[in-house]
């Protein structure tokens, strides 16, 4: 695999440089805004080319038919290695298609011409995990603001207004509440705060905790520490059966807070949780 970095004034120019240097099969690995433009990191899979060149050099005087026979013998690899290479090619192809669709839909160049700081805002918003279309819409709403810091704060304000929140007070209503989201956003800490507030209002015998996180090191210990401080029960449930059992055992509690494993919204295990 050949990896190369490109710096240009805008995204269109950078993509053109990638195509000229690496060809149409190049894969965009990353992109970011830098001083004076954008920076792309691209790669090209050279496995097929290297294999072909090596065979031709070893048997220059043989016919194409003989070369194909020798290539089969000389490059005989284990089945697992071939499958791994094929999976890598497929993944790189899918990544390339996704990046092209994202960049095309965002119209980097046009947006950058209208508001120079919009490209930086787009990068910052997408770094937060904001959908590309939503990020572009937010930048359109603040493109008339010249100060980048003010534009960023306004974009975050508009982003917050797009987020749907629960209108009912769960600390009054109670029930079974599960917190789901990426790693590091504060699910476990939020559960501890909610449990503490509920225990102060209604007593520690009215609240309980459940954790389904079997991935993060120390996740259970952290929640058990909070439970010990608040003097509330905590159970672990890693299967639907264990969850049903835990809910039945804690059925007398007015509020049950469930801590889940951290993962991205697009991860298939989120739906399972």
Q: Which of 193, 211, 212, 195 is nearest to 203 (CA)?
A: 195
Distance CA 180, CA 260 (A): 6
Locate 230 and state its tokens: 């608040």
Q: Domain coordinates of the chain in residue numbers?
A: 1-44+76-106, 107-165, 170-272
Q: Which of 272, 262, 267, 271 is nearest to 179 (CA)?
A: 262
Distance CA 116, CA 145 (A): 11
Distance CA 89, CA 40 (A): 20
Q: Which of 158, 144, 155 is nearest to 121 (CA)?
A: 155
* CATH architecture observed for domain 170-272: 3-Layer(aba) Sandwich (3.40)
pLDDT per residue rounded down to tens, the chain (273 residues):
677 888 888 877 888 888 888 887 777 777 787 777 888 888 776 554 444 444 444 434 444 444 444 454 444 555 656 666 676 776 676 666 566 555 544 444 455 555 556 778 888 888 887 888 888 889 888 888 888 888 899 999 998 888 887 777 778 888 999 988 887 788 888 999 999 999 888 888 999 999 987 666 566 778 888 888 889 999 989 888 999 999 999 999 999 999 988 765 555 555 555
Q: Name residue, tokens 């090191």.
A: 217
């Amino acid at each position: 695999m050949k990896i190369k970095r490109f710096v240009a004034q805008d995204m269109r120019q950078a993509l053109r440089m990638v195509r000229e240097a690496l060809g149409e099969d190049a894969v965009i690995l990353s992109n970011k805004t830098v001083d004076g433009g954008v920076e792309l990191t691209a790669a090209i899979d050279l496995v097929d080319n290297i294999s072909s060149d090596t065979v031709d050099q070893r048997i220059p005087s043989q016919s194409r038919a003989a070369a194909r026979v020798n290539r089969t013998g000389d490059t005989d690899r284990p089945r697992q290695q071939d499958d791994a290479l094929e999976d890598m090619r497929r993944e790189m192809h899918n990544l390339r298609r996704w990046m092209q669709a994202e960049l095309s839909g965002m119209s980097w160049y046009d947006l950058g011409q209208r508001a120079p700081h919009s490209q930086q805002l787009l990068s910052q918003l997408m770094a937060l995990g904001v959908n590309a279309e939503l990020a572009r819409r937010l930048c359109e709403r603040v493109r008339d603001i010249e100060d980048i810091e003010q534009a960023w704060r306004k974009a975050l304000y508009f982003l917050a207004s797009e987020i749907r929140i629960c209108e009912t007070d769960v600390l009054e209503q109670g029930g079974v509440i599960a917190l789901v989201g990426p790693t590091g956003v504060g699910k476990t800490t939020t559960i501890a705060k909610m449990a503490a507030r509920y225990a102060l209002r209604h007593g520690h015998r009215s609240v309980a905790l459940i954790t389904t996180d079997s991935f993060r090191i120390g996740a259970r210990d952290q929640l058990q520490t909070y439970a010990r401080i608040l003097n509330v029960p905590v159970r672990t449930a890693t299967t639907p059966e264990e969850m049903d059992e835990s809910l039945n055992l804690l059925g007398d509690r007015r509020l049950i807070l469930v801590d889940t494993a951290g993962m991205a919204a697009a991860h298939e295990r989120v739906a399972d949780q």
